[in-house]
Amino acid sequence: MRITRFNITNFRRLLNVTIDIADEKTIFVGSNNSGKTSASHALKCFLSKDGRKQIKMNDITLINHKEINRIGDLWLEYDKKDISDEDMQKSYQEFIKYFPALDILIDVPSDELHHVIKIIPTLDWQAGVLGVRLCYEANSIEELRKTFVKERLKAIAVQDKEVTLWPSNLVDFLSNKLNSFFIINTYLLDIDKGSKQVRKKSDFIVQGFNIHDLVKFDFIPAQREVSDESDKANDIEKPAAQIRRYYDTIINPEKSPTNKDLETIRATQQSQERFNQMLEVHLEPLFEEIKTLGYPNIADPDIEIKTKIGILSSYINHSSVLNYKVDDQSLPENYLGLGYQNIIAMTVRLIKHRDEWLRIGKSKEKEERIERLHFVIIEEPEAHLHVQAQQVFINNSYNLLTRYKNIEDKVIKERYRNLDKALCSQMLVTTHSSHIVYEVDFACLRYFDRFTSKDNKIPLTQVKNLSNYFDSQDVSRRFAARYLKLHHCDIFFADALIILEGKAEKLLIPQFIKDHFNELYRRYISYIEIEGDYVHIFRPLIEILGINTLIITDLDSADQNNKKQLPQKGKEQISSNPVINTWLFDNQEEKKTIDILVKLTEKERTKTLSSTSAEVYFAFQQEVDVKGDPNPKVIGKTIPRTFEDALLINNLEFISKLAQKIKLLTPEKKSQLKKVIEDYNESDDLTTLMKAFYTRLNPDDKLVKGKGKITKAALALELLFICDTNCTLSPPEYIKLGLSWLENKLKNKESKFQE
C-alpha cells in the first residue's frame, strides 16, 4: 500500500496543485518562495493529529479572500430581508469551496483490501487507487453566519469614521474565530480507474474512518536546535531549576564532602555505574544504526552514554548525556561539531519514529494495530548540516526507515521477525541543497514553479513531475540527466539559467555580472557550460522547468559548405552553430545569412517557451563600431566571430594600457595578452587586426603567417588576474544586451510576485 498523489487546494499560493508521490523518496525542489514550504505546511496541517489548529486565515489563498468577503456582505443583506432556503444554501456551498482541502490517493493491492473496507467506493471494488478528501470546513455554517452577522452589526452600530471595529468583514471575523468553527471532515473520492483522475467527492462525511488508522505520519521540521539543555537561559525561571541551583550550591555532598557525605556519594556512584551498564546494553543497537550514516569514521571519536545522577535525582535532576569517547577519555556532546550533532539527532529521531510505528520495545504497550504505511516528511535536512553530512543523510535515511526489511542482517531479521512484510515506508523531503539533489534519482524530483494568475495577478504555484522527463529512455534526456548530475544540480533552485559554450565565457561572465549588473548579481543564477552541438538537448528540460534562460553562443560564420570564415557581410555566409539553426530557427531548411543574423532585433532573438511565460534569449555577435582609441588606424565597423575576439575588440583601449601589468604575469613571454598587444600595435587597420585575431584563435586557418595560437582559457585567466576593482573589463555588446534582457525579465517577474 502506497500513497501515489496529493492534491492541495486553496492553501497559500497552492490554489490547486497535484503532487505525484514516488514509491520510496520524493524530493521537493524549486527556487526560493516557490511553494515548497507551503506544501509541507499544508501536509502538516491536514495530516498531524491536531494539525487543523495550525491553519490560520492567512493560509487561505489570497485570491479567495475577496470572494469570502463578498459572501459575508451577502449574509448581511440576507439578514435584512426574507431569503429562500435555496439561496441561503447556495451561498453556503459557495463559501465552502474557498477553503483548503487535501486529496490523498492510495494504491491498494488486492491482498490488503480488508484494511480499507471503510473507504472502498463499491462492494465489487477489487484493487487499485482509492481516494479520500480531507476538507477544512465549518462544522455549522449556519451558526458561523449568525455569529458573524451579530458581531458585524454590533460593530456597525457603534462605528466611528475614524475607528474601525472588529469585525470589519468576514475575513477579519475569521482571522480571530477560524478554529472555533472549523474542523476537518473526510469524504470519499470517485477515482477513474484508467486515468486515476478524481471525478467527484461523495456528498456525505465518512464515519468511522480516520486516515491515521491507516497511515502514520511523522514530521521532522527544518528548525532544529541541538544544544546543551543547561545552556538555556530560561531554565533559571523554572521552579525546578531554582531548586536545583539551591541544591547544587547549598546541599550537594560532592562539594567539599565531609565524613557524613561519603556514604551517600558511594551509593550514588554505584547506582550510576549499574545504570550506565544497563544503558550501554540497551542502546547498542541504536548506536550501531547511527554508524551506518558514516559516523564515526576513522578520524572521529566513538559514542557512549554517560549519566550523572544527582542525590535527589528522582525529584530534581536525572540527565543522561551523549558523550564522545577518545581512548579512555570522554567529552560531552556539545564539544563535537554542530554538523555531527545534527546528523546524529536527526538519525535518532528517524529511528524513534520508525520503532514507534513498528511497536518496538515499550511501544508495544500501545494497543492499536500497526498502521499499514509510514509516511515521513523532512523539511530541509541541510539546515546546519555540512555538505558531506547532507549527502550521507539523504543516502542513508530511507534505508534507516526500511531497515526492518533487511532480512540479510540476522540481528535485524530476528528483531523484526514478527512484522507483516507488506508494511511500507515512504519519505518526502523538501530541500534547497544541490548536494542532496546530486545524490538522488532525478525521477523522484517534484519541481515547484512560480507563476502569476492572469486574472488577478496573484502569485501561485504549479508542481511538475520530473519523472516524466528523467524516466524516459530517450538518449538525449538520459545524456541531460548524466550531465546535470556531474555539474549542475543547482538548476532546480535557480531564478534563471545561463547556458554558455566555453571556458573563457564561464570564467568571465560571472565577473561581468558582478561588475556591471548589480540587480542580476543578487539573483540565484545557474550556469551550464557545454559545447554548442549539445545545447539544444536541454531544450525539453528548460521548457518543463519554465525557467528564463540566456544562451550565450557564437556566430560561427562559415561559407555554404560550413567551412570557417572571417565574418563579412555580402558574402552569403551562414552560421555553422547548431544552437542558432536547430533552436532559434527550428531547423529551417534555408539557413539565415550572417547579414540577417547580425541585424536581428531583441524580439527576434527571443523565443517563448511552450505552455509557460518564460523565455529564451539567444545572444551572439553583432556588428560593432570600433572608435579607434587609442590607435586611430584601428577604426570602423566589424563583426566578431567568437566570444574572445568580441571581448578583445570591445576592450582595445583597456588592453593597450596593460603593458606594465603584463610584466607581473609568469612567464611574461608566454602571455596571451602580450600577443594581443603586439597585434594591436602592428595593425595598420581594423581588417588586419581582425585577421590576426582570427588566425590566433583558429590556428588551423592561417590568414596571417607567423601568428601563434592564443589559448582561450589562459587569456580569460590573465584578464581576471590583471583586473581589479579600479580596472574592469567591459562585456561585448551582444553579451551586455543579453544580460540586460535577463535582468529585466527577473525584475518584471519579481514585481508581479510582489503586487
Question: What does the alpha-carbon distance between residue 535 and residue 579 come to, in Å, rounded to a whole number?
Answer: 6
Question: What does the alpha-carbon distance between residue 99 and residue 499 come to, in Å, rounded to a whole number?
Answer: 42
**pLDDT tens, position by position, 87-96:** 999 999 999 9
Question: What does the alpha-carbon distance between residue 479 and residue 466 come to, in Å, rounded to a whole number?
Answer: 15
Mean pLDDT in residue range 285-292: 73
pTM comes to 0.84
Contact status, residue 544 vs residue 488, Cβ threshold 8 Å: no
- Answer yes or no: is pLDDT of 234 > 50: no
Residue 412, domain member (yes or no)? no
- CA-to-CA dists, residue 261 to 61, 257, 258, 267, 316, angstroms: 66, 6, 5, 10, 19
- Identify the band that residue 304 occupies on the pLDDT scale cut at 50, 70 and 90: low
Residue 252, domain member (yes or no)? yes
Mean pLDDT of the chain: 84
Q: Is the peptide bond preceding residue 239 cis, with omega within 30 degrees of 0?
A: no
Is 678 in the same domain as 748?
Answer: no
- Answer yes or no: is pLDDT of 497 > 80: yes
Question: What does the alpha-carbon distance between residue 142 and residue 692 come to, in Å, rounded to a whole number?
Answer: 85
User: Among the three residues 316, 340, 364, which one is the final residue of a domain in this structure?
Assistant: 340
Residue 642 makes CB contacts below 8 A (sequence gap 6+) with 554, 555, 556, 621, 697
Q: What is the share, in percent, of the chain residues with pLDDT greater than 90?
A: 48
Is 608 in the same domain as 479?
Answer: yes
Q: What is the pLDDT of residue 486?
A: 80
Is 556 in the same domain as 647?
Answer: no
**pLDDT tens, position by position, 526-542:** 999 988 788 888 888 99
Q: What are phi and psi of 568, to 5 degrees?
A: -145, 140
Determine which helix (DSSP H) or strand (DSSP E) holds 376, and give its type and residue range.
strand 373-379
Q: What is the pLDDT of residue 339?
A: 64
Higher pLDDT pick, 159 / 226: 159
Top mean-pLDDT range of 154-158, 335-339, 588-592: 154-158
Is 70 in the same domain as 200?
Answer: yes
CB atoms near residue 369 (< 10 Å): 10
Q: Closest Cα partner for 568 from 600, 598, 532, 592?
A: 598
Q: What is the pLDDT of residue 308?
A: 58
Is 667 in the same domain as 533?
Answer: no
In this structure, of 202-216, 517-531, 659-673, the range with the lowest mean pLDDT score is 659-673
E-strand stretches of 380-474: 424-430, 445-452, 459-465
Q: What is the pLDDT of residue 314?
A: 43
Higher pLDDT pick, 690 / 588: 690
E-strand stretches of 53-181: 101-108, 128-138
Q: How many domains does the chain have?
A: 4
Is 252 in the same domain as 109?
Answer: no
Q: Closest Cα partner for 193 from 102, 104, 105, 101?
A: 105
Higher pLDDT pick, 507 / 297: 507
- Identify the band that residue 373 occupies on the pLDDT scale cut at 50, 70 and 90: very high
C-alpha cell at 605: 532573438
- Answer yes or no: is pLDDT of 245 > 60: no
- Identify the band that residue 243 occupies on the pLDDT scale cut at 50, 70 and 90: very low
Q: What is the pLDDT of residue 168?
A: 92
| 3-state SS assignment for residue 676 | helix
Is 268 in the same domain as 286?
Answer: yes
**pLDDT tens, position by position, 637-647:** 999 999 999 99
| 3-state SS assignment for residue 350 | helix
- Identify the band that residue 334 occupies on the pLDDT scale cut at 50, 70 and 90: low
Q: What is the pLDDT of residue 9?
A: 97
- N-to-C CA span, the chain: 44
Top mean-pLDDT range of 123-132, 629-638, 685-694: 685-694
Is 310 in the same domain as 331?
Answer: yes
Q: ∠ at Cα 645 (640, 650), nearest 5°?
A: 85
| Per-residue buried b or exposed e for 11-20, using 16+ beta carbons within 10 Å of the residue's own CB | bbbbbebbbb
- Answer yes or no: is pLDDT of 237 > 50: no
Q: What is the pLDDT of residue 439?
A: 92
Residue 254, domain member (yes or no)? yes
Higher pLDDT pick, 735 / 387: 735
Classify the C-alpha dihedral 84-89-92-93 as positive or negative. negative
| Structural domain boundaries enclosing 260 | 229-340
Question: What does the alpha-carbon distance between residue 411 and residue 43 come to, in Å, rounded to a whole number?
Answer: 35
Mean pLDDT in residue range 612-624: 91
Q: What is the pLDDT of residue 708?
A: 86
Q: What is the pLDDT of residue 299?
A: 45
Question: What does the alpha-carbon distance between residue 125 and residue 118 come to, in Å, rounded to a whole number?
Answer: 12
Mean pLDDT in residue range 159-188: 89
Helices and strands: H and E segment counts in the chain: 27, 24
- Identify the band that residue 317 occupies on the pLDDT scale cut at 50, 70 and 90: very low
Is 602 in the same domain as 745?
Answer: yes
In this structure, of 252-261, 573-582, 711-720, the range with the lowest mean pLDDT score is 252-261
Residue 458, domain member (yes or no)? no
In this structure, of 67-71, 279-283, 589-593, 667-671, the range with the lowest mean pLDDT score is 667-671
Q: What is the share, in percent, of the chain residues with pLDDT greater than 70?
A: 85
Mean pLDDT in residue range 132-152: 95
| 3-state SS assignment for residue 545 | helix
Is 579 in the same domain as 631?
Answer: no
- Identify the band that residue 374 occupies on the pLDDT scale cut at 50, 70 and 90: very high
- Answer yes or no: is pLDDT of 629 > 80: no
Residue 144, domain member (yes or no)? yes
Mean pLDDT in residue range 162-182: 91
Q: What is the pLDDT of residue 319?
A: 42
Q: What is the pLDDT of residue 452?
A: 78
C-alpha cell at 557: 560564420
Determine which helix (DSSP H) or strand (DSSP E) holds 217, and give its type and residue range.
strand 215-220
Q: Is the peptide bond preceding residue 381 cis, with omega within 30 degrees of 0?
A: no
Q: What is the pLDDT of residue 259?
A: 74
- Amino acid, res. 607: K
**pLDDT tens, position by position, 50-59:** 889 999 999 9
Higher pLDDT pick, 45 / 391: 45
Residue 258, domain member (yes or no)? yes
Q: What is the pLDDT of residue 230?
A: 43
Determine which helix (DSSP H) or strand (DSSP E) holds 675, and give its type and residue range.
helix 672-682
- Identify the band that residue 494 occupies on the pLDDT scale cut at 50, 70 and 90: very high
Q: What is the pLDDT of residue 646?
A: 95
- Answer yes or no: is pLDDT of 463 > 70: yes
Residue 376, domain member (yes or no)? no
Higher pLDDT pick, 343 / 318: 343
| 3-state SS assignment for residue 232 | coil
Q: ∠ at Cα 362 (359, 365), nearest 5°?
A: 70
Beta bridge partners of 186: 134
- Answer yes or no: is pLDDT of 123 > 50: yes
Contact status, residue 170 vs residue 80, Cβ threshold 8 Å: no
Residue 402, domain member (yes or no)? no
User: Among the three residues 307, 340, 373, which one is the final residue of a domain in this structure?
Assistant: 340
Classify the C-alpha dihedral 613-619-625-628 as positive or negative. positive
E-strand stretches of 592-665: 606-608, 615-619, 624-626, 636-638
- Identify the band that residue 231 occupies on the pLDDT scale cut at 50, 70 and 90: very low
Is 6 in the same domain as 127?
Answer: yes
User: Among the three residues 340, 374, 390, which one is the final residue of a domain in this structure?
Assistant: 340
Is 196 in the same domain as 307?
Answer: no
Burial class of residue 535 in the structure, from the number of CB atoms within 10 Å of its CB (0-12 exposed, 13-18 middle, 19+ buried)? buried
Question: What does the alpha-carbon distance between residue 676 and residue 688 come to, in Å, rounded to a whole number?
Answer: 13
SS3 string, 472-501, reads: CCCHHHHHHHHHHHHHCHHHHHCCEEEEEC
